[in-house]
Amino acid sequence: MHQEEIRIENRRGEKLAGILHKAKGKKLMIVCHGAAATKSYPLIVSLCETLIEKDINAFRFDFSGCGDSQGAFIEKTYTNEVDDLEAVIDYFYNLGYDVGIIGHSQGGSICLIEASNDDRVELVVSVAARGYTKHYIDKLDKKTQKTLKEGGNAYWFESELGQQFPFRLSFIEDVMKYDIVELIKNMGCPILFMQGDNDTIREAKETDEMFENANDPKEKSIIKGADHFFSKKTEQTKVTKAAIKFILKYTET
């Protein structure tokens, strides 16, 4: 398997680190990680390795402030990550690739936002994406809200990684600008929604409402027993198989 390290500059002048899994031809899936993850997250790597087996190019990269990319994690916003994804799409589209996008968790939300406003995107696979952005506010206690309003940092604990990650009021204010459930109505490309039925972070009705608002062609796949992180290898395999089946269906020449 041939892999190539590539760095792509975003609009803010930061270099985004990525790995291209090279296949023949010009079909490409860009694979986006979740909020606190990186391009080395097991599900992301598994998707890329399986895509290459089906002779589809795959590019996984770190959003700014994550992994090997430049930038500060504390500066993370949805808008910045949408800009990061757009920079990656620009890079490969200008090289003549046919581009599709896959995203897990927050990466899925970023894919949905980008695809709602970019007709270069030929298909989307959304894995456990957030649709209700107001939930960021709903889950903050009064002490945390006070800290943020006074200009301080708050933290969320990522159970899968066993780490705390900082965020600012600017992140919350930015998230609230995006009504993802509504934006989906603007999408014209094929879309697959996936979620585990044991996901305690994303409500099933989020996925259901996004699916209802999406235009055809659209599909939904529920992974039985899977949590939000698809922690088990068997769950990752189910996600990968469903994604590949959908991608092949809509990338046939």
Q: Give the tens place of pLDDT for each residue, 20-39.
A: 999 999 999 999 999 989 99
Q: Give the tens place of pLDDT for each residue, 62-106.
A: 999 999 999 999 999 999 999 999 999 999 999 999 999 999 999
Say what the alpha-carbon torsion angle 221, 225, 228, 232 is, to the nearest 10 degrees: -110
CATH number for 186 = 3.40.50.1820
Stated as kind and residue range, the H or E segment containing 149 is: helix 142-149
Q: What average pLDDT does range 134-141 have in this prediction?
A: 77
Q: What percent of the chain shows pLDDT beyond 90?
A: 83
Residues with Cβ within 8 Å of 103's Cβ and at least 6 positions away in sequence, in order, are 31, 32, 33, 109, 110, 111, 112, 124, 125, 126, 127, 129
User: Is 84 inside a domain boundary?
Assistant: yes
Would you call 5 exposed, middle or buried from its count of C-beta atoms within 10 A (0-12, 13-18, 19+)? exposed
Q: What percent of the chain shows pLDDT beyond 70?
A: 97
Domain that holds residue 91: 2-132+179-251
Q: What is the CA radius of gyration of the chain?
A: 17
Top pLDDT among 138 and 230 is at 230
What's the pTM?
0.95
What is the pLDDT at residue 201?
86
Q: Which two tokens stand for residue 250?
A: 């809509």
CA 71 from chain centre, in angstroms, equals 18
User: Is 205 inside a domain boundary?
Assistant: yes
**With 70 as the cut, is the pLDDT of residue 18 above it?**
yes
User: Is 46 inside a domain boundary?
Assistant: yes
User: Is 42 inside a domain boundary?
Assistant: yes
Calpha distance 96→78 (Å, rounded):
27
Q: How confident is the model at residue 135 (pLDDT cuts 50, 70, 90)?
A: confident
User: Is 44 inside a domain boundary?
Assistant: yes
- Grouping H, G, I as helix, E, B as strand and the rest as coil, residue 108 is helix
Number of domains in the chain: 1
User: Is 141 inside a domain boundary?
Assistant: no
Confirm if 146 and 132 have CB atoms less than 8 A apart.
no
Q: Dihedrals φ, ψ of 75, to 5°?
A: -90, 5
User: Is 164 inside a domain boundary?
Assistant: no
Ranking 54-68, 136-150, 191-205 by mean pLDDT, the lowest is 136-150
**With 60 as the cut, is the pLDDT of residue 253 above it?**
no
Q: Give the tens place of pLDDT for each residue, 176-217.
A: 999 999 999 999 999 999 999 999 888 889 999 999 999 999
User: Is 227 inside a domain boundary?
Assistant: yes
